[in-house]
Structure 1
Amino acid sequence: MNIKSLLLGSAAALAAVSGAQAADAIIAAEPEPMEYVRVCDAFGTGYFYIPGTETCLKIGGYVRFQVDFDSRDILEGGATGDENWDAFTRGRVDFTAKSDTELGELTGFIAIQADADEDGFNNDFYLDEVYLQLGGFKAGTYLNWWDKGINGETDKLGGNRLTSIAYIYTGDAFTAGIQLDEIEPTIDGDARDLGIEALVSASLGAASFDLLGGYDFDAEEGAIRALVSAGVGPGTLQLAGVWASDPNTYYSRAEWSIAASYAFKATDRFTITPGVQYDDNFLFVDGTDAWRAGLTVDYAITSGLAMKATVNYNDVDGVDEFWDGFVRLQRSF
């Protein structure tokens, strides 16, 4: 075998091996393009598109540190219960999902929160509100219209978290709604029953008016509340009045109650709100009156962090006078 034949044979062998290796080579796939989160401005600030969908999501909530006080020594505390102050921390996360459909705006809302105390009580997370809404139809468990009060932390004008279904019409300056509530447990201690609410509200410039009524079918009693708000000078004046036929799910504090507050914005960050409330036939005891007067201050420490403090004086017929209130720090996001 001459040198030429040897070289040609070696070249052929190398070519065969190279071809086999090329057939077995692994080719890396091209990376798929990443879909970055897109801002959704169709429903206000804070929303973003869930990747791969046309649904907009907003995440919010707060962290709260609060100290409650009551001069009657009735707050949760020592083994004897004779404590006049109690500190706790609360965490809350809200998820709001929105999208446009051929039937109107579709909303889903979930609020999860829990209170933490050093003694280990009240540490379980729970659904504070959860509901869905399509256009004007709303169903779920949520704070109802009675939860709306006046400015400050002095008034006690009602408030419930019920499982309900509602229809709400919203116009430019007029809102009307009707809602059917599940009531459990009932005032009379029976099995679940029903209640109904109706709301009419209107606004004209800096003034607004709400008229709200509720009827408890189990107790066969109802309540009516009117609330007026108007810009007066450097602040907002609010007046409210409630009448209840007897104790019921919607209002059980007194037969008659009137309340007022004036939120005075001293600076861009500092608001002072004095308030007062008078109850006639308190706890539906004939001839028993109650007074409650107080002051609430709000201060925006910085963006996302605020301080709120309130102190209230209470005078009820046949009961020793007492003071109550709280101091709160809250980081909202």
Structure 2
Amino acid sequence: MNIKSLLLGSAAALAAVSGAQAADAIVAAEPEPMEYVRVCDAFGTGYFYIPGTETCLKIGGYVRFETFFQDGTYAGIDDWDSYARVQLDFTAKSDTELGTLTSVASVRWDYGDDTIWTSNTNSAYINEAYIQLGGFKIGRYWNWWDANDLPGELDVLGSARLNSVSYTYTGDAFTAGVQVDELSLVTGQEVGVEAVLQAALGPAKLEILGGWDFGQDEGAVRAIGSVAVGPGTFYLSGVYSSGFNAYYGFAEATVAAAYSFKATDKLEIIPEAQYAWNTQVAGDGEFFGNDWWGAGVTVNYKIVEGLAAKIQADYQKFEDDDGEFVGMVRLQRDF
């Protein structure tokens, strides 16, 4: 065998081995496609599916800056004062065999300098935190006394955000609900009960709400009605309270009226007035004090999509006392 034959044989052997190794080569698997966030339109706009689940999540909130003005001294404020707020809202929803399962986590951060809202330091707190399944709801949330009032900034018609459990039935023309509240932060370790009936009759709406504070053995009832009139909506409300209680302790009785007028797509003007009899000046279950009245206007203006301004100007007066002008300017960016 000569050198040429040896070289040709070696080359052929190497080619055969290389071909066999190529046939047995390991091919890397293609990467799986990435799962992008999917839009969830089952519960309205703004929801998306949490990757790998059938739960829909919505993230929202607002940033607010507000300055309060007045010509007297109210809650330690003289002349004017400001505060800033950030609110973040996380809403999760999913369909179940028992109805829609909802959870809400809403957190606020406030900063002010000796205002009626905050102290000198940053203040972080839970605005709402609740779970809802069908008509059942439990946690901290806006109750009916807090969530529903007149559209202006003047009225004093009740406000309480409590730890509660409720059931609400929602029909085509009416809604009815009952709720049990923990009142430990208001009147000691006690319980309160609320009941509401809401009805829609064409262009008119009516709400009847009652609450009983077992700690004070006192209660209150409130009615709010609205009807479309001309270019806007007219509102009328009245409250009667048997004595100081967690649901309404401002006065023995009050009546308030407002008219919400949409001047343009961006401009809303709301004149409002309220009168209260026998205002509460001490939390001992007895109503005593002067009558009170106030009148003013709230102006809402949509600057651009997501950014709005609110201006309030009121005159308020207690019987036998000097009246005072109260105002507010607010800028709020919703997202």
Shared fold, TM over 0.5: yes
Structure-to-structure mapping, 1:142-161, within 5 angstroms = 142-147=141-146, 148-161=148-161
- CA deviation map 1:313-332 (0-9, x unaligned): 11102433112221011111
- Tell me if the contact between 1:313 and 1:321 (Cα under 8 Å) persists in the aligned partners: yes
Gapped regions of structure 1 (runs ≥ 5): 76-80
The equivalent position to 2:97 in structure 1, one of 99, 102, 106, is: 102
C-alpha RMSD of the superposition = 2.2
- Tell me the secondary structure at the aligned position of residue 52 of structure 1: coil
Partner of 1:314: 316
Q: Distance in 1 between matches of 2:16 and 2:111?
A: 74
- Tell me if the contact between 1:165 and 1:179 (Cα under 8 Å) persists in the aligned partners: yes
Structure 1 115/252 Cα, relative in aligned 2: closer, same or farther at 3 Å? same
Q: Distance in 2 between matches of 1:61 and 1:273?
A: 24
- Tell me the secondary structure at the aligned position of residue 86 of structure 1: strand
Partner of 1:78: none
Greater Cα offset, 84-93 or 170-179: 84-93
Letter in 1 for 2:10: G
Greater Cα offset, 63-72 or 297-306: 63-72
Letter in 1 for 2:310: K
- Tell me if the contact between 1:114 and 1:125 (Cα under 8 Å) persists in the aligned partners: yes
- Tell me the secondary structure at the aligned position of residue 5 of structure 1: helix
Partner of 1:136: 135
Partner of 1:327: 329
- CA deviation map 1:58-104 (0-9, x unaligned): 111111111112322346xxxxx563211222111111111111111
Q: Distance in 2 between matches of 1:286 and 1:8?
A: 118
Alpha-carbon shift at residue 285 of structure 1 (Å): 4.4
Q: Distance in 2 between matches of 1:43 and 1:245?
A: 41
Q: Distance in 2 between matches of 1:277 and 1:194?
A: 30
Matched, 1:248 2:250: no
| Percent of aligned pairs with the same amino acid | 53
Structure-to-structure mapping, 1:68-147, within 5 angstroms = 68-74=68-74, 83-117=78-112, 121-147=120-146
Q: Distance in 2 between matches of 1:82 and 1:294?
A: 20
- Tell me the secondary structure at the aligned position of residue 185 of structure 1: helix
- Tell me the secondary structure at the aligned position of residue 151 of structure 2: coil
Q: Distance in 2 between matches of 1:65 and 1:82?
A: 17
Structure 1 159/204 Cα, relative in aligned 2: closer, same or farther at 3 Å? same
Aligned length: 324
- CA deviation map 1:150-182 (0-9, x unaligned): 121110100111000000000111000000000
Structure 2 length as normaliser, TM-score?
Answer: 0.90
Structure-to-structure mapping, 1:25-104, within 5 angstroms = 27-74=27-74, 83-104=78-99
Structure 1 125/15 Cα, relative in aligned 2: closer, same or farther at 3 Å? farther
Structure-to-structure mapping, 1:218-233, within 5 angstroms = 218-233=215-230
Alpha-carbon shift at residue 123 of structure 1 (Å): 1.9
Structure 1 98/313 Cα, relative in aligned 2: closer, same or farther at 3 Å? same
Q: Distance in 1 between matches of 2:7 and 2:35?
A: 58
Structure 1 28/160 Cα, relative in aligned 2: closer, same or farther at 3 Å? same
Q: Distance in 1 between matches of 2:287 and 2:48?
A: 54
Partner of 2:9: 8
- Tell me if the contact between 1:186 and 1:219 (Cα under 8 Å) persists in the aligned partners: no
Q: Distance in 1 between matches of 2:90 and 2:77?
A: 39
Q: Distance in 2 between matches of 1:151 and 1:219?
A: 30
Q: Distance in 2 between matches of 1:118 and 1:211?
A: 39
Q: Distance in 1 between matches of 2:127 and 2:80?
A: 25
- Tell me the secondary structure at the aligned position of residue 146 of structure 1: helix
Structure 1 165/122 Cα, relative in aligned 2: closer, same or farther at 3 Å? farther
